[in-house]
Amino acid sequence: MGRRATSLRGLLIASALAVYGGVAAAQDFPAKPIRLLNPYSPGGPTDAIGRPLADKLSRALGTPVIMENKPGANGMIAFDIAARAAPDGYTLLISHVGPMAINPAMAQGARYDPVKDFAPITLLASQQLLLGVRPSLPVKTLQELFDYAKANPSAKLSYGTVGTGSTTHLAVEWLKSASHMDATHVPYGGAGPVMVDLLAGRIDFAFLSLASLIEYVKDNRIRPIAVSTPQRSELLPDVPPASDTVPGFNVSSWYGFEAPAGTPKAIVDRLAREAGKIVHEPDVATLMRNIGMVPGGDTPEQHAAWIRSEIVRWAELVKKAGLDKTQ
């Protein structure tokens, strides 16, 4: 037998063994507890999704699913851990549009590739952002915020975000670019710490997920002045879209479910089926809608296509905001 034929045979055998090993692993899955990484600190919207997901997945799979908060670097710490984990289904990730689709367009120092290093499972939920200001700030509309910032430069307005390059950051940068408003960016490790300082008056405003702000709006501790998409929120129908003041403005946040690249397809498909059922169970779907989220539940293939399209869309927005790698 020639050397070329021997090499080809070796490749075929290796490929067959890899497929067999993947099938065997999928058949035995799960045989131990599963680690679910949350890229943000406790108290944010990822907790609102992650906790019922972990609880109900535990029941559906018959093994503990333990959520771990790994905040920092705009979610990149958790993403980096997940990207380098064994592709066996025992390390999973709640993803977010920031570290998944925005960071690739920015000089963020990420050590992972959002397309090559992950096996997309499904979209968990999407939602609007809400621009909220501390009640003592004398503005009730987005235009009044712009006018106040221009008329009071000595006030040195500041705004909080869940990290540089996040939707909560770029949404404000878009507004600043359109209005020439001056405001200082204060990045945090998650929505929870932003809310602590916004409620204490240490920062002036934030463009956070509706889920993060809604309860404080209801008890008048935060004043809402705009939503981030052209559609008004069913929960806050009197709050106008930012696009009424800044034409074309449209920003939404989303949360996905990912595994390390190379995870057997049978495991990915099973997780997608289970997660898709969970986000549409009445109690979970109601919980999501009550905080302004729209349940997801697409296929792994659809989720992969969505991620690729979002990377392209956000690259354009990052460039528009002047925050791309070339700046």
Delimit the domains of the chain by residue range. Answer: 3-127+253-320, 128-244
SS3 at position 105? helix
* CB distance 101 to 190 below 8 Å: no
pLDDT of residue 236: 94
**Secondary structure, 3-state, 207-257:** EEEHHHHHHHHHCCCCEEEEECCCCCCCCCCCCCEHHHCCCCCCCEEEEEE
Name the stretches of the chain with pLDDT < 70. Answer: 1-25, 107-109, 321, 325-327
pLDDT of residue 23: 56
Class of domain 3-127+253-320: alpha beta
pLDDT of residue 184: 96
Strand partners, 255: 96, 125
- Domain over 128-244 is classified CATH 3.40.190.10: yes
pLDDT of residue 6: 54
Do 3-127+253-320 and 128-244 fold alike per CATH? yes
pLDDT of residue 16: 47
Question: In this structure, how many other beta carbons lie within 10 angstroms of the beta carbon of residue 6?
Answer: 10
pLDDT of residue 11: 53
SS3 at position 171? helix
